[in-house]
Amino acid sequence: MNRPVVAILIDWRTLVLSLALVGAFLLSFCIDPAEARVEDDPTVADRSHMADKAESALLVGATCVGDVVLVSGNHGLILRSADGGKTYQQIEAPTRRMLTAIILDSQGTAFAVGHDTTVLRSRDSGLSWQSVYCDPEADLGLFSIQAIGDSRVVAVGAFGTLLISDDGGDHWKQELISEDGPHLYSLQKSAERLVVTGEFGSIFESRDGGDEWTVLESPYDGTFFHVMIDSPDSIIVMGLRGNLWEGHPGRWKRIDSGSEAALFGGCRVGTDEVIVVGDEGRALHRSADGNWSDVSPGERRIISTAILLPDGNLLFLGDKGYRNFDRPSPVKSQGSGKAGQ
């Protein structure tokens, strides 16, 4: 029996919040967990949409290494900058599926993931792409990816999906991070560990590169869209209803985000400084002394992702494309947060 086609809507709020709350955009998860290899893109005729105004399209993933900036989004859209985010060109990709996350390493290897368990790889810093995994019949979305060491690549997604390659993306195997199957939205790494967050306040940690996972005590039972590893022992988690927490199990501190707008992403802008972004144009800054302030740019838009550019300024992505912003000067102090739930 044919599965219903799930439309990819242009509105980021509908896309992301529906993923968490309704599941309307999460595709069903019947996939054989056996190891698989895709030699060629099974939808080779399905190429990315070459948009007339790509800079204003729905954009959700970004990465920066040196002067190369890669951005991903709706309909297989990939933008590339070779001058630190000053100018971009659209790169053709072998898919029209939403690409939700993109990463790049210093050797020029890049990966992008998205709907239908799509995984794309580039070996030339994003100038050209090939499909290395795709299973449209599985109806699963991937939402975050990280490269660990020289050859391991790990991606997470809908219904607890954990996709792993141990040969740089040639072969993949699918597992479940948890039998409960929460949707997993963010995977981040440090030298010591991997941390994953998602639905139902889920926080998972691995200290062996993703083979074994431990459930961490959570301060909140709603959805966390993003996690940042703050130190060897501390993380920052953010999600629905303005929930923003920092700390670790047994010692969580809630940060007053100033509204119930969902928080979707963030990045480090200094040794102890971070930026957190979200719905309604929200942007919060934690200074080096640990105080949080509202640095929202004044536009009622959805900001899904933020990264630091080589010139020290910020790139914000969302439902209205990309915008560059000066590194913020804190205003409207939110204080240092408050303990408790």
pLDDT of 248: 94
Instruction: Report how far residue 60's alpha carbon sits from residue 322's, in angstroms, rounded to the nearest whole number.
Output: 9
Domain membership of residue 303 (yes or no) is yes
Domain membership of residue 39 (yes or no) is no
DSSP for residue 19: H
Domain membership of residue 203 (yes or no) is yes
**29: which residues sit within 8 A by CB, 6+ positions away?**
138, 139, 140, 158, 159, 161, 181
Per-residue pLDDT tens digits for 304-338: 999 999 999 999 999 999 999 988 765 444 445 54
Choice between 28 and 11, residue whose per-residue pLDDT is larger: 11
Amino acid 303 reads: I
Return the CATH number at 51. 2.130.10.10
DSSP for residue 177: S
> Computed from CA positions of residues 121, 146, 180, 246, in that sequence, does the dihedral angle turn out positive or negative?
negative
Per-position b or e across 70-80, b if 16+ CB within 10 A of its CB: bbbbbbbbbbb
Amino acid 206 reads: S
Domain membership of residue 317 (yes or no) is yes
Q: What is the CA radius of gyration of the chain?
A: 19
Instruction: Report how far residue 142's alpha carbon sits from residue 153's, in angstroms, rounded to the nearest whole number.
Output: 13
Domain membership of residue 260 (yes or no) is yes
Instruction: Report how far residue 2's alpha carbon sits from residue 341's, in angstroms, rounded to the nearest whole number.
Output: 45
62: which 2 tokens?
A: 């970004």
- Looking at residues 72-82, what average pLDDT do you find? 96
Domain membership of residue 5 (yes or no) is no
Domain membership of residue 112 (yes or no) is yes
Choice between 38 and 76, residue whose per-residue pLDDT is larger: 76
pLDDT of 244: 98
Per-residue pLDDT tens digits for 127-136: 999 999 999 9
What's the domain range around 183?
Answer: 12-30+46-339
Domain membership of residue 24 (yes or no) is yes
- Looking at residues 100-126, what average pLDDT do you find? 97
pTM for the full predicted model: 0.84
The mean predicted confidence, pLDDT, of the chain is 85
Q: Is 144 helix (H, G, I), strand (E, B) or coil?
A: strand
**339: which residues sit within 8 A by CB, 6+ positions away?**
252, 253, 254
Of 292, 327, 317, the closest CA to residue 56 belongs to 317
- Looking at residues 78-98, what average pLDDT do you find? 96
Task: Please determine, for residue 4, whether its predicted confidence score (pLDDT) is greater than 90.
Answer: no
Contact 141, 34 (CB under 8 A): no
Task: Please determine, for residue 299, whether its predicted confidence score (pLDDT) is greater than 60.
Answer: yes
pLDDT of 43: 44
Per-residue pLDDT tens digits for 240-267: 999 999 999 999 999 999 999 999 999 9
Exposed, middle or buried, 204 (CB in 10 Å: 0-12/13-18/19+)? buried
Domain total in the chain: 1
